[in-house]
Structure formats: structure tokens, C-alpha cells
Amino acid sequence: MRKTSLLALCALPLACLAQSIERPSPRPGDECSYDILDNLRSKEKIAEKHMVVTSVAPGSITMRVTHRVLVTRDTGDLTDGQVAYDDNLNVAERDGIKFAQPYPRRIYPLQPGLRLANQEVEYPVQAGNSRTESLDATAGSWETRTVPAGRFEVLTLQWKGWYNGRSPVWRWSGRMQRDIALSPATWCEISSTEQIYNPNTSPWTHRDFVLTGFKHDRAEPDHGVAASSLE
């Protein structure tokens, strides 16, 4: 994949602060690549993630997701396969398992200060087990974020709340938080941080996903984007 380094700065900063991020339109062949870092071990790079859009239809966007795992410790959840998303790029089906409702990760249009409370999610798990999540979402203010793929104006959408699990043998719960940086320059997430805590409040998972490159079928000239391709 050819990496694309973007300088995604609004031509008019004041206009940038006033705008929202509208629902994107991925096309077949679009790609995103990420480094995955383990924050529990001083930001150790543990894997690389690659996403390719394979089909687009009304209400359904399918991507092939693959990983290059560099550390076998605590990376069993980084599985490859086809993932189906809804029009807002929220997961509707993964590993052949359908969500009762798309898993909330993005909100469009996304505006500074947006708030959404008490999102109840039923997470599909193995038969006999159950997992539910209760999440609140808050969007921050415009800021500049620099990642290996370039520099972007972003809004960060923070999801924060609790998960509750149940099996025939025991029950468990804990806190969770996801901070997802989105930009009008690309539908790829610019970066995200995911924190999941076990019932004893110590971190169980704390990872960063940072955009290292992407390829889109077309540029978005109305966002003041200047792009250059790198090998």
C-alpha cells in the first residue's frame, strides 16, 4: 500500500472551528492503515492493522480487516475477517455475528460539544454468555492532531461508561472509555485510545490506534487538503 501523508489544515481556521464533520462516503478500494500501541508497556507497538473497503451498498459498507501481529501477548482479540458497517461506519456484523443494533462508535454530523447520554448496547458473545454496555458520548473542540499519516484538524468523540458481563458461572463489570479522533479530511479514524478496566479498577486494555497511511479513490478539495504520496 502506498502511504499518503496529508496536511489537512483548514484554509480558513475560523471556518474550521464552526463546521461539523458530515457522514463520509467510502468507496471500494479505499484503504486505512494503523499502528497499534500498548500503553500498558510504554507505547510498545504490538501490531499493524489494515482495512480495505470491498463493497458499498445502501445501509451496508463491507471491509476486509487484517492484522500483522508483532507481539503474541494479549493480542488474541486482533482477528482478521470481513466486517460490515452501517452508513455511519458503526459495526453491524463481525466474524459472522450480527449486532442487535450497530455498535456506536461514530456520530454524524459530528459537532463540537455534542452530547449523547445513556446509550445501551448489547454486545454479541458466545451462547450462554451476555455483555451489555452503558455509554455516554461527548465531542470535544477542534484541535490539531499529528500522526504518522500527517497533520489533521480533528474533533475527538469520547465514549465513556460501564460494561457488564454474565456467564452461567459468574458475573463481572468494569469501566471503559474510547476517545476517537475524526477529521473532515478522511473517513479513516485519525487516532483512537481504548481503555477497558477490570472489576478491580486496574487497566485491562489500554491501546492507541494511530493512522499511518491511507488511500482514497478521490480527494476532498473542499476541506483545504494538500496531499503528497510517499513510498
pLDDT tens figures, 146-199? 999 999 999 999 999 998 888 888 888 888 999 999 999 999 999 999 998 876
CA distance 192 to 199: 23
The residue ranges of DSSP E strands in the chain, in sequence order, are 3-8, 31-38, 44-57, 60-69, 81-85, 91-94, 97-98, 115-123, 130-139, 143-147, 150-166, 171-183, 186-197, 203-215, 225-230
- The pLDDT, as a whole number, for residue 197 is 82
Sort strands 150-166 and 3-8 into parallel, antiparallel or unpaired: parallel
Per-residue pLDDT band at 214 (split at 50, 70, 90): very high
CA distance 123 to 101: 9
Per-residue pLDDT band at 205 (split at 50, 70, 90): confident
Q: Give the list of residues 6+ apart from residue 219 with CB closer than 8 angstroms, or none.
A: 225, 227
Coil, strand or helix at 60:
strand
- The pLDDT, as a whole number, for residue 173 is 85
CA distance 193 to 201: 17
Question: Averaged over 115-131, what is the pLDDT?
Answer: 80
- The pLDDT, as a whole number, for residue 60 is 96
Q: 24-83, pLDDT tens digit by residue?
A: 999 999 999 999 999 887 889 999 999 999 999 999 999 999 999 999 887 888 999 999
Question: Averaged over 109-117, what is the pLDDT?
Answer: 96
Assess whether pLDDT exceeds 70 at residue 223: no
Question: Averaged over 211-216, what is the pLDDT?
Answer: 96
- The pLDDT, as a whole number, for residue 199 is 64
Per-residue pLDDT band at 96 (split at 50, 70, 90): confident
The pTM of the whole model exceeds 0.85: no
Phi and psi, residue 185, nearest 5°: -80, -20
Fold of 27-216: YmcC-like fold (2.40.360)
- The pLDDT, as a whole number, for residue 203 is 59
Assess whether pLDDT exceeds 80 at residue 109: yes
CA distance 33 to 214: 6
Give the bridge partners for 159, in sequence order: 137, 178
Instruction: Map out the domains of the chain as residue ranges.
Output: 27-216
Question: Averaged over 197-207, what is the pLDDT?
Answer: 72
